Amino acid sequence: MIDTAMLMAAGLGKRMRPLTATRPKPLVKVAGKPLMDHALDRLTAGGIRKVVVNVHYLADTVEAHLQAHCNGMTVAISDERKKLLETGGGLIHAREQLGDAPFFCANSDNLWIDGPQETLGMMRKIWDPDRMDALLLLVPLARANCHSGPGDFHMDADGRLTRRKTAHVAPFVFTGVQIMSPSLLVDPPSEVFSTNIFWNRAIEAGRLYGVSHQGLWFDVGTPQAIPVVETMLAYG
């Protein structure tokens, strides 16, 4: 049972300005609820008992919100107030709090809806530590709502991932949700770096895998995306 998750909540939310001038991006509301609460609801539904949340921008506001909306989970704060460490650096900084077992990692500013199966439970069934260092939840590019990029990964019949080539389109987009082995969190190249470093190592070892999301996913990256997402949630 993977029951620990890292929730990424330290970013500056520059693309969401001016809404993030006075509030952190995870607390921007979509469909009447902060983005962070949508993520916390999904983690709770998926059986997560402990969540480690990294904080930097307007950190006090995020911490106060978590105290009131933790959904019964144990919440641990990974404090990045002094320096924003990006995703890879944030994981290294939170390494001791995450423990020695595989854990989920999710972005606090994504919004996903379960499909026929509960998403985290589906990922647990597929997770195989003998073959995998990380298992990424992907969505087909054609169903990546409000997303304008060219895709991130190719996935073979066994679920093994490779990168999109420069000037090409890839069929799958990373949703911001993954299972990671703590064995991957070693030898940081610097204090501040991206999770891409860990993924590249896993790809080289043939140990980066993916699974296609069966439900809905929304890239809520800009203020303009919010009414589009709300309309789709309300009317399908």
Range of the domain at 21: 4-235
Using 70 as the pLDDT threshold, list the residues of the chain that sit under it.
Answer: 236
Sign of torsion, CA 121 38 154 179? Answer: negative
Token pair 């077992």 in the structure block, residue: 101
- Give the pLDDT confidence score for residue 89 in this predicted structure: 96
Q: Is 118 left (phi over 0), alpha (psi -120 to 50) or beta?
A: beta
Q: What's the CA angle centered on 88, arms 82 and 92, to 5 degrees?
A: 70
The number of folded domains in the chain is: 1
CATH number of the domain that residue 155 is part of: 3.90.550.10
CB 123 within 8 A of CB 135: yes
- Give the pLDDT confidence score for residue 109 in this predicted structure: 79
- Give the pLDDT confidence score for residue 236 in this predicted structure: 64
pLDDT in tens, 164-207: 988 889 999 999 999 999 999 999 999 999 999 999 999 999 99
Token pair 């989920």 in the structure block, residue: 104
